[in-house]
């Protein structure tokens, strides 16, 4: 079965009710003052995450109408279809089963006669065995030296998830192995990432779902040349019994769904880890795409990450709507985007280790929901896919928070913080992490409750400056806290946002698992390459602006 027709959300009774409710002025000060139970009632736990929704611009009525919207657009039914392996990725005619990647070994999921759980754990076992060999030093390069650097070559979902998680879990890294990541086709990326590395102790993981991505294959070839040139000039190529082929076999592994193309590249199929077309690139951190992370943190910790994700999957599947956190967060995003006019959504981790989390979320959310047609091909009927962005606190406070506090645009923000720091440090007798958290609490409070003109005057401010120092408040935030940034908690955060994204997609009737919007640019880049290289006919076929830009490049290149 594929999928039921999408419901037009704007025709539902819930949509009409929400439109009415959107006309009421928000009043977080008043709502908190009149309702001592508000904070409690709007706070929920999911796994180790404490999620406080109370500083959002919602009343009980709004939340009830949002939950009705979910019901009237069939979110639960589609969630169940996804979890059961139905082909909910309609435009690519595929199942969507990233949740199967974190099912425990004794779970049961058979799709099209295939035991998905057995397949997942078979590959996981191979990835774990490989990672253990690298971690223990049993896996050596051609000169017999242990591997000290693992370079992941991938882009999009084959890069952003692994690099985000590698950075986030720094305290769990193997002390003698560093991971680096090459993604951009700008040759600077390969050049600077490889700088200072010793080919004899470097292992490359070519990570590409399709094994057809221009950037990744180009970078993989650059790295192969770098490896072979380096080994040759160090006189080490002779150490490889089979010459270049043996060197590539010892220094290159691959992760892909296209194992035939991996072999064509010259990578030993024994050193390739597969996954399946039902894993979307941006949902693939927990597949073999996470191999670099498994090497860095070890199988046990990676298992904890998977267990954390699974806990949130179970919550999303089983928690009643009134306590279902991903469902409610997704609906809140629809509320802000479609009813209150928000075009963007900030994600502000108060954890330096999550500095790549907003970038990771950008692909997850925007490649998933940045769509103008629904899964039946008809145009969407509401605004979709807000822009996600963010930086770690407190850096953002000294950069763009001004606009969030006093600008004219509504920017809902998720604040994420942990009770325990990864690196506890004190400044004299001040606990620096406590100072950091005080900023987290202060910001969400300031955004919610603001500062009135009378409060500003009471501080003795000159009347002319009072307006500039007023804070309107009613700037919505969600606070997400956990005891510490462990592998499990990171997994929980990732799964949380995956299901938030899914919820929004279903309300809009979008196929959140295709990404046709990246194709045109790729196609035109291929067509343009000869023109950039000097082919006059190819240049002539371009529009006037593109012709002039290419001409500029050709005139100015050294």
Ligand X SMILES: O=P(O)(O)OC[C@H]1O[C@](O)(CO)[C@@H](O)[C@@H]1O
Q: Give the residues lining the site for ligand X (CB under 6 A).
A: 155-158, 208-210, 213, 216, 281-282, 367, 515, 518
Residues 59-76: b if buried by 16+ CB within 10 A, e if exposed: beebbbbbbbbbebbbbb
- Give CA–CA dist 227/5, Å, rounded: 52
CB 401, min distance to ligand X, A: 31
Q: Do 83 and 75 contact (CB within 8 A), yes or no?
A: no
Helix (DSSP H) and strand (DSSP E) numbers for the chain: 22, 15
Residue 180 β-bridge partners: 151
Pairing of strands 387-389, 413-418: unpaired
Nearer to ligand X, 9 or 281 (CB): 281
Looking at residue 373, the DSSP 8-state letter turns out to be: B
- Give CA–CA dist 320/78, Å, rounded: 16
Tokens of 435: 């100072």
Nearer to ligand X, 142 or 510 (CB): 510
Peptide bond into 394 cis (omega under 30): yes
Q: Coil, helix or strand for 153?
A: strand
Q: What share of the chain is helix, strand, coil (3-state, %, to 5)?
A: 55, 15, 35
CB 306, min distance to ligand X, A: 20
- Give CA–CA dist 296/302, Å, rounded: 9
Alpha helices in 335-400 (DSSP H): 357-362, 368-369
CB 205, min distance to ligand X, A: 12
CB 276, min distance to ligand X, A: 13
CB 102, min distance to ligand X, A: 19
Q: Do 432 and 426 contact (CB within 8 A), yes or no?
A: yes
Nearer to ligand X, 139 or 360 (CB): 360
The CA-atom distances, in angstroms, between 528 and each of 147, 212, 535 are 40, 18, 9
CA 343 and chain centroid, separation: 19
Strand order in the sheet with 149-153: 178-182, 149-153, 202-207, 252-256, 272-274
CB 156, min distance to ligand X, A: 3
Tokens of 536: 């006059």
Nearer to ligand X, 304 or 367 (CB): 367
Nearer to ligand X, 335 or 513 (CB): 513
The CA-atom distances, in angstroms, between 385 and each of 76, 184, 326 are 20, 25, 16
E-only strand ranges, 234-306: 252-256, 272-274
Element (H, E) at 346: strand 344-350
Looking at residue 258, the DSSP 8-state letter turns out to be: -
Nearer to ligand X, 210 or 406 (CB): 210
Nearer to ligand X, 279 or 342 (CB): 279
CB 98, min distance to ligand X, A: 12
Q: Do 326 and 506 contact (CB within 8 A), yes or no?
A: no
Nearer to ligand X, 62 or 359 (CB): 359
Tokens of 218: 């180009």
Residues identified as active-site:
367, 398, 522
Residue nearest to ligand X (CB): 281
- Give CA–CA dist 248/269, Å, rounded: 12
- Give CA–CA dist 520/382, Å, rounded: 24
CB 135, min distance to ligand X, A: 25
Tokens of 62: 């709004």
- Give CA–CA dist 340/333, Å, rounded: 10
Q: Coil, helix or strand for 403?
A: helix
CB 170, min distance to ligand X, A: 24
CB 323, min distance to ligand X, A: 32
Nearer to ligand X, 56 or 362 (CB): 362
Nearer to ligand X, 242 or 372 (CB): 372
């Amino acid at each position: 079965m594929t999928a039921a027709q999408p419901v037009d959300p704007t025709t539902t009774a819930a949509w009409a009710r929400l439109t009415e409710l959107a006309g009421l002025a928000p009043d977080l000060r008043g709502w908190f003052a009149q309702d001592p139970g508000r904070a409690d009632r709007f706070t929920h736990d999911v796994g180790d995450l404490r999620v406080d929704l109370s500083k959002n611009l919602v009343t009980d009525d709004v939340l009830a109408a949002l939950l009705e919207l979910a019901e009237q657009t069939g979110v639960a039914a589609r969630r169940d279809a996804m979890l059961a392996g139905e082909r909910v990725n309609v435009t690519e005619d595929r199942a969507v089963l990233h949740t199967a990647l974190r099912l425990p070994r004794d779970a049961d999921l058979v799709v099209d006669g295939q035991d998905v759980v057995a397949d997942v754990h078979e590959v996981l076992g191979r990835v774990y065995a490989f990672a253990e060999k690298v971690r223990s030093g049993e896996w050596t390069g051609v000169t017999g030296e242990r591997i000290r650097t693992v370079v992941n070559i991938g882009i999009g979902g084959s890069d952003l998830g692994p690099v985000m998680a590698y950075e986030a879990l720094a305290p769990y890294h193997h002390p003698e192995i560093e991971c680096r990541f090459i993604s951009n086709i700008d040759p600077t990326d390969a050049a600077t990432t490889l700088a200072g590395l010793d080919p004899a102790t470097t292992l490359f993981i070519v990570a590409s779902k399709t094994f057809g991505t221009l950037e990744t294959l180009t970078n993989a070839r650059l790295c192969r040349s770098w490896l072979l040139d380096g080994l040759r000039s160090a006189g080490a190529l002779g150490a490889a019994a089979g010459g270049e082929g043996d060197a590539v076999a010892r220094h290159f592994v691959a992760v892909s769904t296209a194992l035939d193309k991996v072999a064509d590249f010259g990578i030993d199929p024994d050193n390739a880890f597969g996954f399946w077309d039902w894993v979307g690139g941006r949902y693939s951190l927990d597949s073999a795409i996470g191999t670099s992370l498994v090497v860095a943190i070890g199988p046990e910790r990676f298992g904890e990450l998977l267990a954390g994700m699974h806990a949130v999957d179970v919550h999303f599947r089983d928690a009643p709507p009134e306590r279902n956190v991903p469902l409610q967060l997704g609906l809140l995003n629809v509320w802000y985007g479609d009813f209150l006019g928000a075009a963007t959504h900030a994600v502000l981790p108060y954890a330096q280790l999550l500095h790549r989390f907003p970038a990771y979320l950008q692909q997850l959310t925007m490649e998933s929901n940045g769509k103008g047609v629904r899964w039946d091909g008809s145009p969407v009927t509401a605004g979709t896919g807000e822009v996600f962005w963010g930086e770690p606190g407190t850096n953002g406070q000294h950069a763009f928070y001004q606009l969030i506090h006093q600008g004219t645009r509504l920017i809902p923000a998720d604040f994420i913080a942990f009770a325990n720091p990864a690196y506890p440090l004190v400044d004299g007798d001040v606990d620096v992490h406590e100072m950091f958290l005080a900023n987290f609490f202060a910001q969400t409070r300031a955004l919610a409750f603001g500062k009135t003109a009378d409060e500003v005057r009471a501080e003795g401010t000159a009347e002319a400056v009072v307006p500039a120092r007023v804070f309107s408040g009613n700037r919505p935030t969600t606070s997400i806290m956990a005891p510490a940034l462990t592998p499990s908690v990171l997994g929980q955060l990732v799964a949380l946002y995956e299901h938030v994204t899914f919820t929004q997609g279903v309300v809009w009737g979008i196929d959140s698992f295709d990404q046709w919007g990246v194709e045109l640019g790729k196609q035109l880049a291929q067509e343009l390459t000869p023109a950039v290289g000097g082919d006059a006919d190819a240049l002539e076929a371009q529009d006037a602006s593109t012709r002039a830009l290419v001409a500029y490049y050709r005139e100015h290149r050294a």
